[in-house]
Amino acid sequence: MRKSTILCDFDLDGAGCCLLTKWVHPNREFQFIGTNEKELMSYLSEADPKAPVFVYDIAFDQSHIDIADRPNVVFVHHHEPQTNLIAKNCKVICHQETSCVKLLQKLYQPDLSDAQNDLLSFIDDYDCYDLLYKKSLFYNMLFWSYSGNKIEKFVEAFENGDRPFSDLEKNMIKLYASKMLETAKNSDPHIYRAKNFNILFFYADFAINELCAELSKKYDCDAAVAINKKTMHAWIRINREKQTNFDCGIFSKIYMNGHGFKNFGSGEITDKILELSKSFNKV
């Protein structure tokens, strides 16, 4: 049997999707590839047409479907598509859900152990950022602490589901938390104040969700933008604790040459952002 390929978002939710698919298909061999929408076309073009391909939690459009419109290809995303998508042979599943792993659970309806279900609940809790469980944050910290193929290492470490962390894993989490605090100290936050919303801009290349959440809450902003100084890539996250009509996806498209949804988006630092920066206020 040919090895199946999973192309997934390079994050904890993507790793959870890989684990769940492996649990559902225990007799299949998989290769796990964490990627993004910019690289997805290249991977689909080079994929073995006879081998099964699963695409999880990566923004895709009609061009991706056209190049991989085969019965052995499945696209799954936990957000409604922004345009109408047409597939003749491959399967396309786009439904609004709290996480991609939660959507896959509903699709597969697998018979899992308590430990497996608990792990998926932690991953879903982190991806939707409800953070009902402190352990959800720890799992994300651990995922980003791995070196090499993070997805493969996470799948291997938690192949049986949730379990107590080892002493080594606890130390990895502590180091991550320490680095996060140091990054926050050196983030150089500035606020852009508009008529109907305030946006915080700061520097970070790591712990994006956590820092955006904490800093937007601290400075009472509608959203926060984290900027990677080296690559000039940027991520925007909504302040979930504030009642706001601000839309991160629209802001990303207009100002960051990017894309996203209401609660989050990404892109790059453009001339439009640089123009806005003239009105920034240091905090």
Residue pLDDT, tens place only, 153-202: 999 999 999 999 999 999 999 999 999 999 999 999 999 999 899 999 99
Give me the pLDDT at residue 83, please. 80
The tokens for 140 are 């994300």
User: At residue 101, does pLDDT exceed 90?
Assistant: yes
* 274 CB-contact burial (10 Å; exposed 0-12 / middle 13-18 / buried 19+): exposed
Whether the model pTM is above 0.85: yes
User: At residue 203, does pLDDT exceed 70?
Assistant: yes
User: At residue 250, does pLDDT exceed 70?
Assistant: yes
**pLDDT of 212-245, one tens digit each?**
999 999 999 999 999 999 999 999 999 999 999 9
**Range 98-124 average pLDDT:** 97
The tokens for 173 are 């989490």
**CA-CA distance, 33 to 37, in Å (whole number)?**
13
Give me the pLDDT at residue 40, please. 95
| 3-state secondary structure (DSSP) of residue 5 | strand
pLDDT band (50, 70, 90) for residue 38: confident
**Range 112-130 average pLDDT:** 96
Could you give the maximum distance between any two Cα atoms of the chain, in Å? 60
pLDDT band (50, 70, 90) for residue 37: confident
Give me the pLDDT at residue 1, please. 63
**Range 128-143 average pLDDT:** 94
- Nearest 5°: CA angle at 208, between 206 and 211? 105
User: At residue 26, does pLDDT exceed 90?
Assistant: yes
Using an 8 Å Cβ cutoff, are 101 and 20 in contact? yes
**CA-CA distance, 20 to 164, in Å (whole number)?**
19
Smallest CA-to-CA distance from 222 within 244, 201, 202, 204 is with 244
Q: Other C-beta atoms within 10 Å of 119: how many? A: 23
Q: Tell me what the pLDDT averaged over the chain comes to.
A: 94
User: At residue 82, does pLDDT exceed 80?
Assistant: no
